[in-house]
């Protein structure tokens, strides 16, 4: 049934074009990001006075953060295996999210929070390059990605599960002092602007 569903969609020229365009843009972004993050790491930024982080003693919570993020991503991909429209939508959602972060990080240059502990995420770091990136701050990509996943899902139950994961990850990156509080708050706002645009791009396949 799944194979038939994918074959049906892939016979549709419009779907193929939208999927190919999304994948091409994704490849270009992945190729560009290491150079971009090298640029932002080299420039000076602003240190924010964050009252929330001042009350949180930093701790390494990389493992639970990693488990939550990639478990939910794999769960989404499993659902997408049975519903090609989910794959198309998250490709475009992630592309737009990445572009918006490229712009927002450029416009809001920040120095990393005090007492930051490096987040160990071998999958994400493979996109960014070998060096841990500390200045990709406004806004939190880990948190925003999960919010995007939630908004792309089709049932309230599924959305609630992923939103819960997003809230948890938002708290964890604050505990690790990887982001400022404003970075995490913004990560819950931007996807609500991005996903509707992605849905328009993917129409009528959503």
**Domain span at 133:** 2-202
How much of the chain is in helix, strand and coil states, percent to nearest 5? 70, 0, 30
Query: CA 167, 186, 202, 15: dihedral to nearest 10 degrees?
Result: -70
Q: What is the pLDDT of residue 87?
A: 97
- Domain count for the chain: 1
- DSSP-derived letter for residue 188 is T
Which of 93, 81, 102, 74 is CA-nearest to residue 162?
74
pLDDT of the chain, 206 residues: tens digit per residue: 565 688 999 999 999 999 999 999 999 999 999 899 999 999 999 999 999 999 999 999 999 999 999 999 999 999 999 999 999 999 999 999 999 999 999 999 999 999 999 887 766 655 555 577 899 999 999 999 999 999 999 999 999 999 999 999 999 999 999 999 999 999 999 999 999 999 999 999 97
Q: What is the pLDDT of residue 130?
A: 58
Q: What is the pLDDT of residue 39?
A: 95
What SS3 class is residue 110? strand
Q: What are phi and psi for residue 139, nearest 5 degrees? A: -125, 175
For 146-159, give one letter per residue: b (16+ CB within 10 A) or e: bbbbbbbbeeeebb
Q: What is the pLDDT of residue 10?
A: 93
Give the global pTM.
0.92
Report CA torsion sign: 68, 73, 79, 81: negative
Q: What is the distance between the terminal CA atoms of the chain, rounded to a whole angstrom? A: 19
Q: What is the pLDDT of residue 47?
A: 94
For 88-123, give one letter per residue: b (16+ CB within 10 A) or e: bbbbbbbbbbbebbbebbeebebebbeebeebebee
């Amino acid at each position: 049934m799944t194979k038939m569903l994918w074959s049906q969609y892939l016979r549709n020229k419009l779907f193929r074009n939208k999927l190919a365009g999304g994948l091409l843009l994704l490849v270009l972004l992945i190729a560009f990001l290491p150079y971009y993050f090298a640029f932002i790491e080299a420039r000076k930024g602003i240190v924010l006075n964050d009252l929330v982080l001042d009350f949180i003693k930093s701790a390494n919570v990389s493992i639970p953060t990693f488990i939550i993020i990639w478990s939910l991503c794999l769960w989404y991909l499993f659902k997408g295996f049975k519903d090609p429209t989910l794959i198309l939508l998250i490709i475009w959602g992630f592309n737009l999210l990445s572009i918006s972060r490229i712009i927002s990080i450029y416009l809001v240059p920040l120095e990393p929070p005090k007492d930051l502990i490096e987040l160990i995420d071998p999958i994400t770091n493979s996109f960014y390059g070998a060096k841990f990136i500390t200045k990709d701050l406004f806004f939190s990509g880990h948190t925003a990605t999960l919010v995007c996943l939630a908004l792309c899902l089709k049932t309230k139950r599924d959305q609630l599960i992923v939103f819960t994961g997003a809230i948890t990850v938002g708290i964890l990156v604050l505990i690790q002092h990887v982001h400022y509080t404003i970075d995490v708050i913004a990560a819950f706002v931007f996807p609500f602007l991005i996903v509707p645009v992605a849905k328009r791009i993917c129409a009528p396949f959503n």
